[in-house]
A and B are shown apart, each in its own frame.
Chain A
Amino acid sequence: MADEIIHDHHHDGIDRRGFLKCMAWAGTGVALTFSGGVVTSHILGQGVAAAPATGDFTFVQISDSHIGFHKAPNTDVTATFQQAVDKINRLPTPPAFTLHTGDLSHLQKLDEWDTLDQLLKGAKGGEVFFTPGEHDVAVDNGKSYLTRYGKGTTGEGWRSFDYKGVHFVGLVNVLNLKAGGLGYLGPEQIDWLKQDLAGLSSSTPVVVYAHIPLWAVYPKWGWGTDDSEQALALLRRFGSVTVLNGHIHQVLHKIEGNITFHTAYSTAFPQPAPGTAPAPGPLVVPAGKLKQMLGIHEVSYRVSQNALAIVDSTLG
Chain B
Amino acid sequence: MMEHGAPRTGPETRASRRWLLAGLAGMTAFFGAAVAERATSSHASTAGTPAVVATPSPQASPAASPMASPAVANRVTISNFAFTPATIEIAAGTEVTWTNQDDIPHTATSNDGKTFTSPLLDTGDEFHQRFTKPGTYPYHCALHPFMTAKVIAR
- The chain A residues found within 8 Å of chain B, CB to CB, are 71-72, 106-108, 134-135, 138-139, 177-182, 219-222, 278-282
Q: State whether B119 touches A279 (Cβ < 8 A).
A: no
B142 contacts the other chain (CB 8 A) = yes
Q: State whether A180 touches B145 (Cβ < 8 A).
A: yes
Q: State whether B146 touches A182 (Cβ < 8 A).
A: yes
Q: Can you report 25 A-B residue pairs in the complex whose CB atoms are below 8 A from each other? A: A71-B103, A107-B120, A107-B122, A108-B120, A134-B143, A134-B144, A138-B143, A177-B142, A177-B145, A179-B138, A179-B139, A179-B145, A179-B148, A180-B145, A180-B146, A180-B148, A181-B145, A219-B146, A278-B80, A279-B80, A279-B82, A281-B81, A281-B103, A281-B104, A282-B103
Interface size class of B (residues with CB under 8 A): 20 to 34
The 10 closest A-B CB pairs, nearest first, are: A279-B80, A179-B140, A279-B81, A138-B142, A179-B111, A134-B143, A177-B145, A222-B146, A138-B143, A278-B80
Identify 11 new A-B residue pairs, CB closer than 8 A, beyond the known A134-B142, A138-B120, A220-B146. A139-B120, A177-B145, A179-B111, A179-B138, A179-B139, A179-B140, A182-B145, A182-B146, A221-B81, A280-B81, A281-B80
Q: Which residues of A contact B103 (CB under 8 A)?
A: 71-72, 281-282
Secondary structure call for the A interface: loop
Q: Which of A106, A138, A182, A282 contacts B107 (CB 8 A)?
A: A138
B123 contacts the other chain (CB 8 A) = yes
Q: Which residues of A contact B105 (CB under 8 A)?
A: 106-107, 135, 138
Q: How far is the CB of B53 from chain A (nearest CB, A)?
A: 26
Q: Which residue of B lies closest to A68 (CB)?
A: B122
B 101-130 to A, binary, CB cutoff 8 A, 1 in contact else 0: 011110100010000000110110000000
C-alpha gap A154/B103 in the complex (Å): 34
Q: How far is the CB of B153 from chain A (nearest CB, A)?
A: 18
Q: Which residues of A contact B148 (CB under 8 A)?
A: 179-180
- The chain B residues found within 8 Å of chain A, CB to CB, are 80-82, 102-105, 107, 111, 119-120, 122-123, 138-140, 142-146, 148
Q: Which residues of A contact B104 (CB under 8 A)?
A: 281-282
Q: Which residues of B contact A180 (CB under 8 A)?
A: 140, 145-146, 148
Q: How far is the CB of B80 from chain A (nearest CB, A)?
A: 4
Q: Which residues of A contact B143 (CB under 8 A)?
A: 134-135, 138
Q: Which of B82, B111, B123, B145 contacts A71 (CB 8 A)?
A: B123
Q: How far is the CB of A220 from chain B (nearest CB, A)?
A: 8
Q: Which residues of B contact A179 (CB under 8 A)?
A: 111, 138-140, 145, 148
Q: Which residues of B contact A138 (CB under 8 A)?
A: 105, 107, 120, 142-143
Q: Which residue of B lies closest to A107 (CB)?
A: B120
C-alpha gap A279/B119 in the complex (Å): 22
Q: Which residue of A lies closest to B122 (CB)?
A: A107
